[in-house]
Amino acid sequence: MSLLTSDPIELAPLVAEVVADDRGGVATFLGLVRDHHQGQRVVRLEYSAYPEMVEGVAAGILAEACARWPVRVAARHRTGVLEVGEVAVAVAAAGAHRAEAFEACRYVIEELKRRVPIWKKEFYADGTTGWVEPRP
């Protein structure tokens, strides 16, 4: 399954990708569009991406997680215009125990945010827009 989608993200299918009879601990993360950023009211976000590079980097991150912990992981990131409250990104990790599931889930979302070529443009309540710069 590819990382990028333009459809609304559902958590249950993502969890179904990682669960198995021998993996009883499932950790998930959802990133929703928030209504504020650095003191400004946000009404929507527009996500854009470099798809070929995203898929290669994301596949590498998921493989790294599976190499570090005995888990199965899956992730999805939406592109296009999203309203406040919509799911932008989701990660699911399943392992035999909760420790590896939590750690792998955290690792994947942190690395996705750091390394995948995806950008977001914020639309503010006052009608202006701005490109989000990552925290240094």
Q: Which residues lie near another protein (CB under 8 A)?
A: 31, 47-50, 52-53, 56, 77, 88-89, 109, 112-121, 131-134
Nearest CB to another protein, comparing residues 33 and 94: 33
**Nearer Cβ to another protein (44/121):** 121
Minimum distance of another protein from residue 128's CB (angstroms): 14
Rounded to the nearest whole angstrom, what is the least distance from the CB of residue 56 to another protein in the complex?
6
Phi, psi of 86 (to 5 degrees): -80, 155
Task: Return the number of the residue (97 or 129) whose C-beta is nearest another protein.
Answer: 129
- Residues 93, 108 contacting (CB under 8 angstroms): yes
Distance CA 77, CA 129 (A): 22
Nearer to another protein, 44 or 115 (CB): 115
Minimum separation from the CB atom of position 132 to another protein (A): 4
* Sequence-separated (6 or more) residues with CB below 8 Å from residue 83: 33, 43, 44
